[in-house]
Structure 1
Amino acid sequence: MYRILPKSMLSLFVLVLPLISFANSPLDIKKSAPQSYIVVKGDTLWDISAMYLASPWLWPRLWQVNEYIENPHLIYPGDKLNLVWRDGQPILTLKPMVKLSPKVRVLDKQAVPVVRDSLLLPYLEFDRLMTRTQLDQEARVLGSSHGKHFFASDELLYITGEQHQSKWGIFHPTETYTRGEHQVVLLKQVAWATLHSSDQQISGLQVTKQVQEILRDDIALPIIDPASSPLNSRFYPQPSPPEMTAQILGAVDGGQYLAKDQVVVIDQGTDDALVQGSTFELYQQASPITAFEGDSQLIQQAKENNLQLPNFRIGSLMVIRPYQYFSLALITESQQPVGLDAIVQAPVSP
């Protein structure tokens, strides 16, 4: 008799599959990796991983779990990392330079993030992908008392509804992305504001920073309290589910060619077992074989047979904010400009 696993157990099984599939693959330690390293302010977990590993997404296998740390992936400036070998396998151990209780270490705001907070936090404070139904429920920019179509940063801006949150972001809806029957709208932030006044139908916002013009009917979103969000900046890189592929649908900042530290939208999400830190590798499709007059018969035959040369690796990206059917992902490495046609696939075991 077969037993059907509960959905919660099945989801957990799917999430650990990437790590299980790489459990027996050898770790490739870089020749330049230091035997010991003291973490400094400004380091990121991805940079430290790349310092030791040719494949930074294998970080969970290199990192030695420390029983006295509640979250073993939290590392702090001043901590000393030591590369040791046990049973023929490389392991990184940690010696805290400042002894803190597990609770204090977890709550410490200075723990090394997986990537720079400036690249990550803007996508955790606000929803950047929304369905049309969700957009219809959000506050809208009504305008200013001057009746202008465009608003300057020193003007008082009015939005719909009685509001109580103190900090706000103003967004333009831009691209709409489709995956089967599912659609999301990408929001681009154009301004920051604070609550100035509020009554039963209208609230006033004072614009504090503006990077683009604010238009009537733009979206106003309150800043999400990190304490109430299941997402945060303290996660670690890990391989995406085996053999998974994804498509880059577009870039948050627009453009056809992208580079390191840019954020893109991909067509996979939590329903596909992606989590914060899920990593993909980027490949460019190889050029087709060409043949010219005078080339050998073997070259001519290879062209006629449409022989395909191997694709070549051009970088990597990491999921920083997964949604149900889509995700926002950060390009963590780019050896050349990354086009929207780049091949996105799960890391292959070394």
Structure 2
Amino acid sequence: MTRIISALLLALAASFAQAADPAPLKIADNAPDRHIVVPGDTLWGISAKFLSEPWRWPEIWRMNQDQIKNPHRIYPGDVIVLDRDANGKPLLRVAGNNKLQPKIYSEALEQTIPSIPPNVIEPFISEPLIVEDITVQNGARIVAMQEERVFLGPGDTAFVAGAGDRPQQENWQVYRPAKPLRDPQTKEILGHEAFYLGTVKQVQPGEPGVFVVATAKQEIGRGDRLLPAARPQLVNYVPRRPEIDIDARVASVYGGVGTAGRNSVITLNRGSRDGLEVGHVLALHRNRSDSFRDDLTEKTVTLDLPQQRYGLVFVFRTFDRVSYALVLNSAGAVNINDALRQP
């Protein structure tokens, strides 16, 4: 999956010049003249050292021109140099073939540099997390298990009702019945967020059908639901600012916790029907109010405080009415109902 994320990043590079923000690139305060690539670096992180707007890294890497055509061909030990073209515009380039780590060390690290931390979002690419309630609640379900099993793990057998006759569908994904996901502003149900448990393979059709557990993130049991496994959606992680006005809110923090931080996954109350796309970068704004006692009226007054920007998120998967985003940086905790707009 990491290879997919890296390889497909360049698919939109040819058309990036037309969609790029026309404003001049702004060099970050105290930007270095060069950076030595180390294990764990990402293109976003490297670009953030040089740019005040790191989501515009395809521009400074000149992905659509003659500089670094494939920035993923960068390895630990490479030296990245901040330079300028004939027109004085900033660009990044690799300083020849020079590496500052010992040769034996650099050769042992053949992994290229990804765009954003892939280990955080990989599970969200192939697992459909927002589902129709009726699909999960009334779909295929585990009705019995092999003898002497209270819960199932890899290699165990499950008997499933409602899977139907699908001769071409061998692989299925297992979920706990979904919980409603509500809009923090309107309280409307936007969809249902299913809790992913693992995968099973059908070995014998019928009613019930016979399935074997292939993978399990958590224990699988009677009553858990099944959905046909789809092929992972191949996406292009080219960061960009939305071209339309976006007014979104944090609807939930994945995992059921109340607040999020850097590298956390959050759910937004806007989706593809609202114009959000994979690769959009949004700015987080604190959305809060405060109350005080007015000495003149002797009444408690509640004021909505001006929103304060405190972080950035990267949209990496969209559904019709909701989206998933990765928190790239934040000066403080990310809370439900915080606002998101164009950076």
Which of 231, 244, 247 is the matching residue for 2:246? 244
Tell whether 2:32 aligns with 1:34: yes
Contact 1:168 1:195 in 2 (8 A): yes
How far apart are the structure 2 equivalents of 1:42 and 1:173?
36
Q: Offset of 1:289 from its aligned partner?
A: 7.8
Q: For each residue in 1:114-149, what CA deviation from the matched residue of structure 2 results, as whole angstroms up to 9, or x when unmatched?
A: 32222111111121112236547964323313497x
* Residue in 2 that maps onto 1:123: 124
Count the aligned residue pairs.
308
Report the TM-score, using the length of structure 2 for normalisation.
Answer: 0.73
**Cα separation, 2, equivalents of 1:224 and 1:136:** 19
Decide whether aligned partners of structure 1 residues 331 and 198 sit closer, same or farther in structure 2, where only a CA change above 3 A counts.
same
Q: Which residue of 1 aligns with 2:57?
A: 59
Q: Extract unaligned runs of 5+ from structure 2.
A: 1-11, 99-109
* Other-structure match for 1:203: 210
TM-score, with normalisation over the residues of structure 1?
0.72
> Which amino acid is 2:130 matched to?
L
Match of 2:287 in 1: 285
Map 1:312-331; keep pairs closer than 5 Å.
312-331=308-327
Unaligned runs of 5+ in 1: 1-11, 99-108, 294-299
**CA distance in structure 2 between the aligned counterparts of 1:96 and 1:168, rounded to whole angstroms:** 48
Does the 8 Å contact 2:277/2:318 carry over to 1?
yes
1:137 and 1:164 mapped to 2: Cα distance? 22
Per-residue CA deviation, residues 10-50 of structure 1 (Å, 9 max, x unaligned), is: xx9xx989955x4224513231x332334344322222222
1:198 to partner: Cα distance: 2.1
Identity of aligned residues (%): 22
Aligned to 2:331: 335
Q: CA deviation at 1:153?
A: 2.0
Q: Secondary structure at the match of 1:314?
A: strand
Structure 1's 77 and 225: CA in aligned 2 closer, same or farther, altered over 3 A?
Answer: farther
Q: Distance in 2 between matches of 1:41 and 1:35?
A: 20
Q: What does residue 271 of structure 1 align with?
A: 273
**1:149-164 equivalent positions in 2, closer than 5 A:** 150-153=150-153, 155-159=156-160, 160-161=163-164, 162=166
Q: Secondary structure at the match of 1:141?
A: strand
Structure 2 residue 43 is the aligned partner of structure 1 residue 45: yes
More divergent stretch after superposition (201-210 vs 172-181): 172-181
Which residue, 150, 175, 180 being the options, matches 1:176? 180
- Structure 1 residue 305 displacement after superposition: 11
Partner of 2:115: 114
Q: Which amino acid aligns with 2:285?
A: Y
The answer to which of 310-319 and 217-226 deviates more is 217-226
Contact 2:25 2:90 in 1 (8 A): no
Structure 1 SS opposite 2:27: coil
Deviations 1:258-298 (A, max 9, x none): 222222221222233322221111121365485776xxxxx
- Say if 1:241 and 1:274, in contact at 8 Å, map to a contact too: no
Please tell me whether the aligned partners of residues 186 and 252 of structure 1 are also in contact (alpha carbons under 8 angstroms). no
Q: Structure 1 stretches (4+) deviating beyond 6 angstroms?
A: 15-18, 68-71, 179-182, 303-308
Deviates more, 1:274-283 or 1:239-248: 239-248
Write the distance in 2 (CA, Å) between the matches of 1:133 and 1:196: 22
Residue 42 of structure 1 aligns with an amino acid whose one-letter code is G
Q: Structure 2: how far apart are the matches of 1:75 and 1:137?
A: 47
* Aligned AA (2:330): S
* 2:23 alignment partner in structure 1: 24
Residues in 1 aligned to 2:96 and 2:172: alpha-carbon distance in whole angstroms: 38
| Counterpart position of 1:7 | none
> Structure 1 CA distance, aligned partners of 2:321 and 2:96?
40
CA distance in 1, matches of 2:290, 2:153: 52
- Aligned-residue CA RMSD (Å): 3.9
Map 1:73-88 onto structure 2 (within 5 A): 74-78=72-76, 80-86=79-85, 87-88=87-88
The C-alpha deviation readout for 1:305-326, integer Å capped at 9, x for no partner, is: 9886532223221111012222
* Aligned-partner Cα distance in 2 for 1:224–1:327: 19
Report the counterpart of residue 218 of structure 1 in structure 2.
224
Contact 2:258 / 2:335 at 8 angstroms: preserved in 1? yes
Work out the CA distance in 2 between the residues paired with 1:291 and 1:335: 29
Name 2:307's counterpart in structure 1.
311
Range with greater deviation from structure 2 (39-48 or 180-189)? 180-189
